[in-house]
Every structure is written in structure tokens, then in C-alpha cells.
Amino acid sequence: MKTINDFNFANKRALIRVDFNVPLNDAFEITDDTRIKAAIPTISKILKDGGKVVLMSHLGRPKNGNEEKYSLKHLASHLSNVFNQKVKFAQDCIGRETEELSSNLGVGEILLLENLRFYNEETQGDVVFAKSLSELGDIYVNDAFGTAHRAHASTSIVAQFFDDKCCGFVMQAELDNAQKVLAKAEKPYTAIMGGAKISDKILIIEQLLDKVDNLIIGGGMSYTFFKALGGNIGNSLCEDEKLDLAKTLIAKAKATGVNLMLPIDSVIADAFSNEANTEIAMNHAIQDGWMGLDIGPQAAQVFANAVKESKTILWNGPMGVFEMSRFEAGTRVVAEAIVEATKAGAFSLIGGGDSAAAVNKFGFGNDVSYVSTGGGALLEYMEGKELPGVVALG
């Protein structure tokens, strides 16, 4: 797979698939421009070469064609400020007028296309739609790793119409950093899996059992394990249909010599609320009517100690309902341990989604090795699946 450094973009139009699916408030103002910032190096490289930039992205999940709240026009002024020039906006992502705007771009200019998902053909991977997109550029650049697991028109199908195609810096960094925990992990290697459901993480857990020394389980999914072991978990989250799977994973960890670490205690509450009454309970003995909403202080310390002794750390999923201040302590302690280990020379990959949100909430985003923006794409890549958006660049 070629990278952006393999090309000189002088006088060429780069059709770049970016991930500008950013949150907007009611006034259509961007509330978090992390994804836009991530794309700056790729766009800047092309402009520095003397190239021309055509940006395409989706925003949200529009249901009925062109919807005002999902229009990418709301991003144009912000992008103009970022790049210190007026970013041109095409009111459609395909068609004659858009092709003319692209053809007339001057060296160093930027054109932003309207939301790709205003066309159902985008998510359907329609070949004719992809061919129309391909008319807008000379070189195809995919820098949207977060959508690389989808065989959409702009992420995989369009690539077939280009002889010159490559990944951008975001895509390259995501793949390189994922490889550091998949194939090049220094021992001891600790993976931390959190979140609500085992079912969301089965495949990645099975992959990791062949690689890690410690597998830490936290968050809502841990209570399914405790119920499988015969414990009383009260009203805690549980996937009853996954109890046998939990037992199987426990047995597999034992057979492969992996230290499977479950939280010994929990912060429990009598309601799913920041104002609920709380107590600390052992995880095999949570009374009826109460639910675990965070790992307890003993679990947090045990997990933190394991993390601090590690050379490679993968974290995917919070330890509790960190969005509520009463139940953020466990996630924070684990995050602080990862920061400490990173400062001591460990490699730490924060695997997107809620983990990334937690790290950023606590202000640790710059204190870990890499924070993925990949979400589902990263999970699928780590599960061993081929990503259509990556395969298309091969």
C-alpha cells in the first residue's frame, strides 16, 4: 500500500476521503474538532507540494437526502480559519457544477463537497456513484480510517477508478500503531477491555488471548463473568445468554496462561443516577436492587499495579459509567496508571470510542502513546478482519 509520501501532488487534484463527522451544537457550531485537526497534516502536505485539495466526507446519518442539520457547509468557515484561506464549498458531491468547481481549482486551493450520505448510493457502495466521485480528482487519498471497515462508495469502491491512490497520515498512523499491539508488542503486555457487553468484544478478546500476559476486564461486561462464576450481581448489567461464553473465555485464558483479571469490588448504586445512594461491594455479593456502576477501589489499585508493570498497553472500554462524576474514579485510576507507564517507556494505545473520550475528559490525551479515532474500524482490524477501505488501496 502506497502512502502519501510516495507522491508529489504538484498541480494535481487530490480527492481525499476525510472523516469530518464532527459534533455540532444547535447553532451548527463544531463542539469538538479533533477529527479535523487529525487531517491537517495530510491536507498541508498536498498544499505544500503545490497540489489542489478536494475534500469528501459524511456527517451524521441523514435519512431523507439533503438535511440542513447534516450539511457540510457548516464546516466551511471553520476550515477556512484552519487553513487561513477561503475554503470553497460545492452544494453537491457529484454532478456537472461540482465537476466544474473541481476542474477550476487553482494550485493551493481547497474544495469541500456536500455530505456524501445525502445519497443512499454512498452507503450502498454504488459503482456509478463512485465513478462520479472519481471525476473530481487525479489522485485518491483515503485518510478516513474510522470508516475503512465499510465498503462504501467513497471508502473502497472509488479507488478502482484511480491508478494513483494512497493512504493519508491518519490512516497510516492508525495502521502502524495497531501493528504495535498486534504483531510487535513488547512484554509484559496488558489489554484492558471495558464497556457494557461481552458480545461487542468476543472476537477481539479471543484474538488477544494468544498475545497478552494480562487481560483486564472491567465495566458492565464484568458482571456477566461474575454471574457465570456463581456470584450474586444484584441488578447489575448482565448478558444471560453469554454466561456459557464467559465460562469458555475463563477456561481459554487459563489454558493459554493468560492472567485474566476481574474486578474484585464495585461501586454499587440503588439507581442508575449520579444522585443515587452508593456503597462498595464485593462483586460476587452485590445485594438485590443494587447495581455495579464502577470498579471499586481495590480493583482499581490491582489493575493500576498491573498496568504500571507493563511495556505494552491496549485499552478499549471504560471501567464504569465515567460520564457520571460519582462513577468515574475507576476509569480515572486506570487512565492515570497508563499515563505513568507511558512516561516510564511503555507503548500505550487507547482504542477509540469511550476510552478516547475518557482520556480526553481527564486531560491525558497527550500523555499516552496514541489515541485512535478508529472506533469500530480499529476493533475489526484487531479482530483480524480485512478492512475494505485498506484493501482498496493495495
What residues are labeled active site? Answer: 35, 197, 353, 376
d(CA 203, CA 330) in angstroms, rounded, equals 25
Sign of CA dihedral 81, 83, 85, 86: negative
Helices and strands: H and E segment counts in the chain: 14, 17
d(CA 108, CA 122) in angstroms, rounded, equals 28
Cα–Cα nearest to 44, from 14, 72, 17? 14
In this structure, what DSSP letter does residue 223 have?
Answer: H
**Residue 362 CB neighbours (<10 A):** 16
**Residue 305 CB neighbours (<10 A):** 10
In the block, residue with C-alpha cell 444471560: 240
Backbone angles phi, psi at 114, to 5 degrees: -65, 160
**Per-position DSSP letters for 72-134, written without gaps between them:** THHHHHHHHHHHTSPPEE-SSSSSHHHHHHHHTPPTT-EEEPPPGGGSHHHHHT-HHHHHHHH
d(CA 311, CA 320) in angstroms, rounded, equals 24
| 153, 133 contact by CB (below 8 A) | yes
d(CA 36, CA 16) in angstroms, rounded, equals 13
Helical axes 329-343 vs 297-308, angle rounded to 10°: 20
- Helix-, strand-, coil-residue percentages of the chain, each rounded to 5: 40, 15, 40
Helical axes 73-83 vs 34-48, angle rounded to 10°: 60
